[in-house]
Structure 1
Amino acid sequence: MLDFSNFELYKNNSTDNGLHTTYQYKYALPFEKVEDPAQFTLFLQRNWHHSITVSVVYFSIIKLIQWLMKDREAFHLKKTLFCWNLALAIYSIIGLVRFSEDFFHSLYTFGFFKTLCYSCHPNDVAAFWSLIFAISKIVELGDTLFIVLRKKPLIFLHYYHHAVVLVYTTHSGAEHTAAGRWFIWMNFLAHSFMYTYYAIVASGHKPPRYVSVCVTTVQTTQMLVGVCLSILVFHYKTMDLPCQQSFENLYLAFIIYVTFAFLFIRFFVNAYIRSPRKQRVKHE
């Protein structure tokens, strides 16, 4: 874990000593900055475990609402749901566009290894979007409220994904996990597709079936890539190459991405392979 007690020293270090890339955006919007990255990082390092508390409270509230809704009529919430998904789609697309500048510039300039093992500049635009990304994981817990208030089926994958991503994102933020550059970019990409699709469905339109297949494929691919990246980081660290990711965070990432990959693959099979088969059997 990085020690940010002397941030000025860290900020002025060379790339190799600081384990962060040196790219800074040529143009930044006035709000695209973290006012005090040292204090924010120290706050996360001291309090990241409260993300587990938030996840437990989140799960408890969801179960309580399900119990309260058991004998009540479902809420419709169509307009609210549309606005919610549209807002998250716009946010994800903007985040993808802004974060991609650092991602692709670093990949082209510094190469694959440093994009995976050297974190983004701690006091620039990419760091701001990393912070907003972490905060958005709390906001996205609201997705589940729409499911339980509308009395739609709530699968394990849904709330497990929301809770675990919140915990891992907070832990990674506390450590400035370098592989987070890849994880954040992939998540922005997947959520740009996902929330846009949800917004279209909430508006009353029904996209062709292949669209939902593509969205789930993007999500599943993200998890499989996450597993591969974690294996690569483990390989680099066992070769004593400098890599800004602790073994604790790495093991957590591997466990999470393996379970996500398994659950998304199972969901894909059940939703798009077995279900159509069952429907064909019924009609025969």
Structure 2
Amino acid sequence: MEFYRELNSFTVYKNDSNRLASDYTYKYALPFERIEDPEAITVFLQMNWMHTLTISVLYYAIVRGMERYLKDRPAFSLKAPLQLWNGALAVFSILGFVRFSEDLFLSLYNHGVYRSICYSVHPNDVAAFWSLLFAISKIVELGDTLFIVLRKKPLIFLHYYHHAAVLIYTVHSGAEHTAPGRAFISMNYLAHSFMYTYYAVAAAGVRVPRWISMTVTTIQTTQMLAGVGISIAVYRIKSIYDWPCQQSYPNLYLAFLIYFTFAVLFIQFFYNAYFARKSAAKAKKIE
């Protein structure tokens, strides 16, 4: 029996025993939380994941073009749309975390770390549905940048690099059913639950204490450091212990690159936002 076939260096999974996937079934699954044809979705991602590079280039070009166009024009307020945007993404992220991470937490509890980071989600179950929505959300979230540009707020390199890199890696990982995605997606849903809730409250005009914004940035930075740690663990599992793990080396190296650069950039952002600025203010006060 043919268990799998290769296509563009990825694996299209059928009803095989070679696929390392969770066997967890959600007890309370809503009728729509199911992918009817996971193989078709997988083939589509394998054939088209590289177009995320095209989307990222267009995204950057549009952002820069809009900045030039608005240079000598007044900024838009967009208070109500921004509240709605961040509120909707906050609700989506919370729901995504609650529904998707159930699979990861129970896997950690019942099977330990190895199966939790080396076995992918079941392609027909709830977690696969929310992982697909997660990938789609990475395109939607590019709209964050439009609000920054239209309101003429400072746009730092970390912002658009983060959006583009996450989009590319997420779709590439979906194309090969990357197992550590169970942890990566759960962490991102959780971080975005806090982040977009914070943004929604701030957009409503509520004065948010400084420690809350520091907490949000700390959660984001911790997510990146955890991503590096998980990638190191997978590398050891594959290269030292030679155990099977549902992640290719190219995808693993890409994870290393992205999470390491994210960690460095977020630590730098955290320092500049909460310590360097404070030191500069003190120095100015002394003068």
TM-score (norm 2): 0.95
Measured after TM superposition, the shift of residue 53 of structure 1 is 0.5
Shift of 1:283: 2.0
CA contact (8 A) 2:101 2:182 kept: no
Contact 2:169 2:254 in 1 (8 A): yes
- For the aligned residue pairs, the C-alpha RMSD in angstroms reads 0.9
Match of 2:136 in 1: 135
Separation (CA, whole Å) in 1 of partners of 2:223 and 2:47:
30
Could you tell me which runs of 5 or more consecutive residues in structure 1 were left unpaired when the two chains were aligned.
Answer: none
Q: Distance in 2 between matches of 1:35 and 1:89?
A: 27
Deviation for aligned residue 1:176: 0.3
Match for residue 261 of structure 2?
259
Contact 2:10/2:46 (<8 A) preserved: no
> Tell me, what secondary structure is at the counterpart of 1:18?
coil
Residues of 2 paired with 1:230 and 1:128: CA distance?
24
Match of 2:186 in 1: 185
User: What amino acid is the match of 1:139?
Assistant: V
Residue of structure 2 aligned with 1:3, choices 7, 11, 31 = 11
Q: Aligned-pair distance for 1:206?
A: 1.3
CA deviations 1:106-164 (Å, max 9, x no partner) are 11112111110010111000000000000000000000000000000000000000000
Q: How many residues align?
A: 277
> Which one-letter code corresponds to 2:11 in the other structure?
D
Q: Aligned partners of 2:104 and 2:24: how far apart in 1?
A: 10
Residues 154-182 of structure 1 show CA distances to partners (whole Å, capped at 9, x for unaligned) of 00000000000000000000010000000
Q: Does the residue aligned with 1:76 lie in a helix, a strand or coil? A: coil
| 1: CA distance, partners of 2:109 / 2:10 | 26
Aligned residue in 2 for 1:34 = 35
Alignment partners' CA distance in 2, 1:219 and 1:118: 25
Tell me if the contact between 2:76 and 2:150 (Cα under 8 Å) persists in the aligned partners.
yes
Q: SS at the partner of 2:252?
A: helix
* 1:53 equivalenced with 2:54 (yes/no): yes
Could you tell me which amino acid in structure 1 is paired with residue 135 of structure 2? A
Alignment of 1:11-90 (within 5 A): 13=17, 17-90=18-91
The Cα of 1:2 is off from its aligned counterpart by: 5.0
What are the within-5 Å matches in structure 2 for residues 151-170 of structure 1?
151-170=152-171
Greater share of residues in helix: 1
On the 8 A contact 1:2/1:176 being kept in 2, the answer is: no
Unaligned runs of 5+ in 2: 1-8
Q: Deviations for 1:5-49, whole angstroms, at most 9, x for unmatched residues?
A: x62x23xx3xxx320110010111111011210000011011110
8 Å contact from structure 2 (residues 97, 186) kept in 1: yes
> Distance in 2 between the 1:206 and 1:247 partners?
46
